[in-house]
Amino acid sequence: MESCRDLHGGSPLAERESANDKFDLIVVGGGMVGSALACATAEAGFKVCVLEMREPTRSWPEDEVDLRVSALTRASQRVLENLDVWERMKSLRISPYTDMEVWDEGGSGRIHFNAAEIGEANLGHIVENRVTQLALWERMESLDDVDLRYPARVSQLLLDGSQGVMLDDGSHLQAELIVAADGRDSQIRSMAGIDTKGWDYDQHAIVATITPEQHHGYVARQRFMKAGPLAFLPIDDGRCSIVWSTSPQEAEQLMAMDDAAFCHALGHASESMLGQIKAVGPRGVFPLRLGHAETYIRPGLALIGDAAHAIHPLAGQGVNLGFLDAATLADTVIEARKAQRAIGAFSTLRRYERARKGANMGMLAVMDAFKRAFSNEIPPLKLARNLGLTLADRSGPLKDLLIRRAMGLSGELPSLAKYQPHGN
């Protein structure tokens, strides 16, 4: 029909549009994990569309620390170095920590890890989520093969012959592989009818930036209490970002306190390990829930990051597992393309699921066991965990194993998480 033709001649408008709207991958969710996958696959020559609900924060006052921070492992650092974003993150702020100390409320169990013991300069970095997010977003903007669309909302997921998504604005985008990277409450996962197994932890996590009387000495500290763990994560200017997991009732009370009362309560809960708490910034609260998708894949669809697994923040592993998902899926599609196999085929995606689902499940189970063991006051269990921490602290090989695991350096690593001499 004439009205459908491009006035400048050439193909009908619908055909022209669909050529622009055909991709190798559509990544729904441009958070830290989805952005990492988009960068990795676009750099390997794939045509990628990223759909994101909102634009990330691009600037903030220099002395303000984001409420959301993550302890990034060495494996995540390598992923980010290999994606050429680590230097940009450094320029924004990353805070290394050299030691980690974990102990039990009212018990004698304690374990201390030190980077020098394993010949490393640090054990990892505390990084504001918005720093990682912005560096990856800017990298996506610099890549020709990433089509970044925001604000964008998916109205329909098509996993049949016309494989793709419909957007709220009526556009139809097609791709061989759709990736759900849209977080814990993933809309794409629900649209695909994939269930999650999990439960409420009956804990809320309060996050805030605090100024302690004493310098943290670059030590990440975690105290296990009956109601939940309390973490002090060191920021390079001497402040700490805290994650205080506790019962919903106590969280409500703590959130209702004025700053002076909150600082006092926090000083008490932390056994004044860094002296008094002199100041606290704005506070945020997050309900904690365990959720693991029953499957990570369907033909033409893969789940990564929190869309596949939501985990307790006590070991700071959530986004670190997500980066390994992204790196593994990137390896999977790159290998498939080299072997001329379809990237969205179930047999291709099985490799990704096999590599990640067991590993993530293991971490989820360990964190869950930790959470239960440390919330329990049954005397034999209390004794066992005290003994466990102390024995682990004294056993060189076990300690080495634990720390390598916490740094993300154990097990089979995807290429992006390995040291690459050409990286920064």
Ligand X SMILES: Cc1cc2nc3c(=O)[nH]c(=O)nc-3n(C[C@H](O)[C@H](O)[C@H](O)COP(=O)(O)OP(=O)(O)OC[C@H]3O[C@@H](n4cnc5c(N)ncnc54)[C@H](O)[C@@H]3O)c2cc1C
Residues in contact with ligand X by CB under 6 A are 28-34, 51-54, 70-71, 153-154, 181-184, 187, 205, 207, 243, 286, 305-306, 313, 316-320, 322
CB of 395 to ligand X, least distance (A): 26
Neighbours of 192 (CB within 10 A): 19
CA angle 336, 326, 45 (to 5 degrees): 50
Query: For the residues of 16-51, what is the DSSP string, one character each?
Result: HHHHHTEEEEEEE--SHHHHHHHHHHHHTT--EEEE
Min CB(16)–ligand X separation in Å: 26
Q: Which CB, 104 or 306, lies closer to ligand X?
A: 306
Name 180's bridge partners: 28, 303
In this complex, which beta carbon is closest to ligand X, that of residue 109 or of residue 183?
Answer: 183
Cβ closest to ligand X, residue 56 vs residue 337? 56
State the nearest-atom distance from the C-beta of 363 to ligand X, in Å: 10
Max intra-chain CA distance, the chain: 82
**Residue whose entry in the numeric block shows the structure tokens 């049954």:** 378
How near is the Cβ of 361 to ligand X at its closest, in Å?
A: 15
Nearer to ligand X, 28 or 146 (CB): 28
Instruction: Select 330 or 337, whichever has its Cβ closest to ligand X.
Output: 330
When the beta carbons of 53 and 118 are compared against ligand X, the nearer one is: 53
Q: Which tokens is 267 given?
A: 């000083």
Q: Provide the minimum distance between the beta carbon of 288 and ligand X in the complex, in angstroms, as a whole number.
A: 7
> For residue 378, with 0-12 CB atoms within 10 Å meaning exposed, 13-18 middle and 19 or more buried, which class applies?
exposed
Q: What is the CA radius of gyration of the chain?
A: 23
Measured distance CA(397)–CA(13) in Å, rounded: 65
Give the nearer residue to ligand X in terms of CB position, either 353 or 382: 353
Rounded least distance, CB 234 to ligand X, Å: 12
d(CA 190, CA 353): 18
Strand partners, 245: 205
Half-sphere exposure at residue 151, Cβ-oriented, CA atoms within 13 angstroms:
4
**Nearest distance from C-beta of residue 357 to ligand X, angstroms:** 15
Q: How far is CA 10 from CA 6, 14, 22, 84, 377, in A?
A: 7, 11, 18, 40, 75
In a 13 Å sphere around the CA of 99, the CA atoms on its Cβ side amount to 10
For ligand X, give the closer residue by CB, 115 or 230. 230
Least Å distance between CB 349 and ligand X?
18
Choice between 205 and 382, CB closer to ligand X: 205
**SS3 for 391?**
helix
CB nearer to ligand X: pick between 317 and 337: 317
State the minimum distance, in angstroms, from the CB of residue 138 to ligand X. 15
Separation of alpha carbons 29 and 52, rounded Å: 5
Smallest separation, CB 341 to ligand X (Å): 26
